[in-house]
């Protein structure tokens, strides 16, 4: 591990040197690549430099203890020694986590697709609430949310909704939300006061660039039509809605949220790319089923990941057996505590896997 850290330290210093060269500043592509690499290496390099400093403190304190006879001074040195050793242990753990292989999709924006499952109208109402939960969470992170497609029902519910979240590291956080979400509560329509259980599915897909997925135009059928449902004056009077059918996979994308056919087409293609890229990722996951088992719920869409129990004000994440009695805050977008626990559990599982190897 320490050989690798020394190599990264040398590489970091090389990058800093390159960035100070005037030629690099003129080459925007190269400049961006170096800045990104520098940004990725900075937390590792800072932790490693602190580790080395603590090691020096230990050596110095031990040397001074051998020579020092004053009891008060010796106590101070022993305290300094204990603090440095404790910090070294913490930094070793931190560095192991920082050196874990990074998911190449972590820095990407995400496409999120929410679908009502079992439970009829109640499931559609819950789908709309989960959509709002993610919008509030994204806003708290200063991320941008863009609606791509929504199939609404009259009572404020959504049979399905697809949206894009744009923001630094969105996938690294949102990927843990893929799976089946279950709600337990008394529906407003239920006169007997019985608790119903409904489900929705959430699919989180990394945004795919054109270089990530090659789409052959011959494989696509494009239909244009008038948008349905509410919209601006010209939304429903022009052929602005776009439906893409990808023949090899049977994937159908419908986009009608924009007034312009060009914008709807761009959104539809962005979602199609994400879905095709996601299919590839799923195939890789299936081929590496052992690896997927060592991760915390970032693969299986049929996995029941979380229960929202309204009568008890409780949220339970089944993957890490975490229960919080902060349902109102969670539904208002306060997901950070759950996500931090999931990231920690995922890192612990990967570290355990690495130590086995």
pLDDT tens for each residue of 40-87: 888 889 998 999 999 999 999 898 988 878 888 899 889 999 999 999
Q: Which candidate, 161, 75, 69, 158, places its Cα nearest to that of 114? A: 161
- Statement to judge: residues 69 and 201 lie in one domain: no
Domain membership flag for residue 354: no
- Across 292-316, average pLDDT: 75
Considering the domain architecture, whether residues 15 and 148 belong to the same structural domain is answered as no
Comparing CA positions, the residue from 328, 323, 295 lying closest to residue 313 is: 328
Rounded to an integer, the average pLDDT of 340-349 is: 89
| Contact between 208 and 105 (Cβ < 8 Å) | no
Q: Which of 71-75, 232-236, 293-297 holds the top average pLDDT?
A: 71-75
Output the pLDDT for position 28: 81
Tell me, yes or no, whether 61 and 29 share the same domain.
yes
Give residue 191's pLDDT.
64
Q: Return the CATH number at 39.
A: 1.20.58
Tell me if residue 330 falls in helix, strand or coil.
helix
Q: Say if 103 falls within a structural domain.
A: no
In a domain, 355, yes or no: no
Q: Is there a single domain that holds both residue 68 and residue 148?
A: no
pLDDT at 166: 93
Which residues 6+ apart lie within 8 Å of 330 measured at CB?
A: 133, 308, 315, 324, 338
CATH at 321: 3.30.70.1660
Residue 77 shares a structural domain with residue 8: yes
Tell me what pLDDT residue 182 has.
94
**Residues 220 and 241 both lie in one domain:** yes
Instruction: Please list the residues that pair with 114 across neighbouring strands.
Output: 161, 202
In a domain, 139, yes or no: yes
Task: Report pLDDT digits (tens) over 89-130.
Answer: 889 888 888 887 787 888 889 999 999 988 888 999 999 999
Of 98, 130, 159, which residue sits at a domain end? Answer: 98
Residue 19: the pLDDT is 84
CA 175 vs CA 29, 100, 145, 150, 310: distances in Å: 28, 17, 16, 21, 25
Q: Which of 44, 38, 21, 200 is nearest to 128 (CA)?
A: 200
Using 50, 70 and 90 to split pLDDT, how confident is the model at 299?
very low
Determine the average pLDDT of the residues in 254-258. 80
More reliable by pLDDT, 211 or 306 = 306
The number of distinct structural domains making up the chain is: 2
In this model, does residue 188 exceed pLDDT 60?
yes
Distance (Å, rounded) from C-alpha 349 to C-alpha 353? Answer: 6
Computed over every residue of the chain, the mean pLDDT equals 84
User: Are 156 and 302 contained in the same domain?
Assistant: yes
Q: Helices 71-98 & 28-67, crossing angle to 10 degrees? A: 150
Neighbours of 268 (CB within 10 A): 23
| pLDDT mean over 262-290 | 78
Determine, yes or no, domain membership for 105.
no
Q: Specify whether 147 is located in the same domain as 65.
A: no
Q: For position 168, what pLDDT does the model report?
A: 87
- DSSP bridge partners of 184: 197, 309
- The verdict on residue 267 lying in a domain is yes
pLDDT of 231 higher than 50 = no
90 in the same domain as 37: yes
Classify residue 273: in a domain, yes or no: yes
| Predicted pLDDT at 234 | 41
Burial class (CB in 10 A: 0-12, 13-18, 19+), 182: buried
Which of 98, 128, 161 is the last residue before a domain boundary? 98
Q: In what order do the strands lie in the sheet with 304-309?
A: 144-153, 157-166, 110-116, 196-206, 179-185, 304-309, 314-317, 322-324
One domain, residues 190 and 329:
yes
Last residue of a domain, one of 65, 98, 131: 98
Same domain, 222 and 338: yes
Query: What pLDDT, on the 0 to 100 scale, is given for residue 211?
Result: 66
Greater confidence (216 vs 41) lies with 41
Q: What's residue 342's pLDDT?
A: 93
- Let me know whether 61 and 127 are in one domain: no
What are the structure tokens assigned to 326, written together?
A: 């902060």
Mean pLDDT of 167-188: 90
Report residue 124: phi and psi, to 5°: -65, -40
pLDDT band at 348 (very low <50, low <70, confident <90, very high): confident
Alpha helices in the chain (DSSP H): 2-19, 22-26, 28-67, 71-98, 120-140, 170-174, 261-287, 289-293, 327-331, 336-356
With beta carbons less than 8 A apart as the criterion, state whether 261 and 240 touch.
yes
Position 232 pLDDT exceeds 60:
no
- How many CB atoms lie under 10 A from the CB of residue 338? 20
Report yes or no on 357 lying in a domain: no
Order of strands across the sheet with 220-225?
Answer: 220-225, 241-246, 251-255
Residue 157, domain extent: 110-349
Structure tokens at 329: 């805050």
Q: What is the DSSP letter of 186?
A: -
The answer, yes or no, to whether residue 353 has pLDDT greater than 90, is: no
């Amino acid at each position: 591990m320490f050989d690798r850290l020394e190599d990264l330290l040398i590489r970091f210093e090389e990058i800093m040197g390159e960035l100070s060269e005037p030629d690099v500043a003129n080459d925007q592509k190269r400049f961006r690549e170096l800045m990104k690499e520098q940004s990725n290496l900075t937390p590792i390099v800072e932790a490693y430099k602190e580790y080395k400093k603590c090691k020096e403190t230990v050596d110095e304190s031990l040397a001074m203890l051998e020579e020092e006879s004053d009891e008060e001074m010796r106590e101070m040195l022993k305290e300094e020694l204990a603090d440095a050793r404790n910090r070294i242990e913490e930094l070793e753990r931190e560095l192991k986590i920082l050196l874990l292989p990074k998911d190449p999709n972590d820095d990407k924006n995400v496409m999120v697709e929410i679908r009502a499952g079992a439970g009829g109208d109640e499931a559609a109402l819950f789908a709309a609430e989960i959509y709002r939960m993610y919008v509030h969470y994204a806003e708290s992170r200063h991320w941008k949310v863009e609606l791509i497609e929504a199939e609404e029902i009259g009572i404020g519910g959504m049979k399905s909704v697809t949206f894009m979240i744009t923001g630094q590291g969105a996938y690294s956080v949102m990927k843990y939300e893929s799976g089946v979400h279950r709600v337990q509560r008394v529906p407003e329509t239920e006169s007997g006061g019985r608790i119903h259980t409904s489900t929705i599915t959430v699919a989180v897909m990394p945004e795919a660039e054109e270089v990530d997925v090659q789409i052959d135009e011959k494989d696509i059928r494009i239909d244009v039509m008038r948008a349905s449902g509410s919209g601006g004056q010209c939304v429903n009077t022009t052929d602005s809605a776009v439906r893409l059918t990808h023949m090899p996979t049977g994937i159908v994308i419908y986009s009608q949220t924009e007034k312009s056919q060009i914008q709807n087409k761009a959104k539809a293609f962005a979602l199609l790319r994400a879905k095709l890229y996601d299919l590839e990722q799923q195939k890789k996951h299936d081929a590496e089923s052992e690896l997927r088992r060592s991760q915390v719920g970032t693969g299986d869409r049929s996995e029941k990941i979380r229960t929202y129990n309204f009568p008890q004000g409780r949220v339970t994440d089944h993957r890490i057996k975490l229960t919080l009695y902060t349902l109102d805050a969670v539904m208002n977008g306060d997901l950070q505590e759950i996500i931090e626990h999931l990231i920690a559990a995922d890192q612990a599982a990967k570290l355990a896997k690495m130590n086995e190897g």
